[in-house]
Structure 1
Amino acid sequence: MAYDKDLADRIREALAGEARVREVRMFGGLTFMVNDKMTATANTHGQLMVRCDPDRVEELLERDGADWPEMRGRRMSKGWIVVDAYGTESEEAFNSWIEEALSYNRKANGGDD
Structure 2
Amino acid sequence: MAFSEALVRRIRKAVEHQTVEEKKMFGSLAFLVNGKICLTAGPERMMCRIDPKLHEQEVKRNGCATAVMRGRNYKGYIHVQEENLQNEKDFNHWVNLALVFNKQLISS
Q: Tell me if TM exceeds 0.5.
A: yes
Aligned to 2:17: 17
Cα offset, 1:31, TM superposition: 0.2
Please list every run of 5 or more consecutive structure 1 residues that lacks an aligned counterpart in the other structure.
Answer: none
Aligned to 2:76: 79
Contact 2:68 2:74 in 1 (8 A): no
Work out whether 1:107 is the aligned partner of 2:107.
Answer: no
Report the aligned-residue RMSD. Answer: 1.3
Contact 1:48 1:84 in 2 (8 A): yes
Cα offset, 1:85, TM superposition: 1.5
Equivalent residue letter for 1:21: V
Equivalent residue letter for 2:83: Y
Superposed counterparts of 1:32-111, under 5 Å: 32-44=31-43, 46-72=44-70, 74-110=71-107
Cα offset, 1:28, TM superposition: 0.3
- Report the structure, 1 or 2, having the larger helix content: 2
Contact 1:47 1:83 in 2 (8 A): yes
Cα offset, 1:62, TM superposition: 1.7
Contact 1:31 1:42 in 2 (8 A): yes
Aligned to 1:6: 6
- Report the structure, 1 or 2, having the larger strand content: 2
Equivalent residue letter for 1:71: M
Contact 2:47 2:67 in 1 (8 A): yes
- Percent identity over the alignment is 37
Query: Following superposition, which runs of at least 4 residues in structure 1 exceed 2 angstroms of deviation?
Result: none
- TM-score normalised by structure 2 residue count: 0.93
- TM-score normalised by structure 1 residue count: 0.89
Please list every run of 5 or more consecutive structure 2 residues that lacks an aligned counterpart in the other structure.
Answer: none
| Alpha-carbon distance in 2 for matches of 1:59, 1:41 | 21
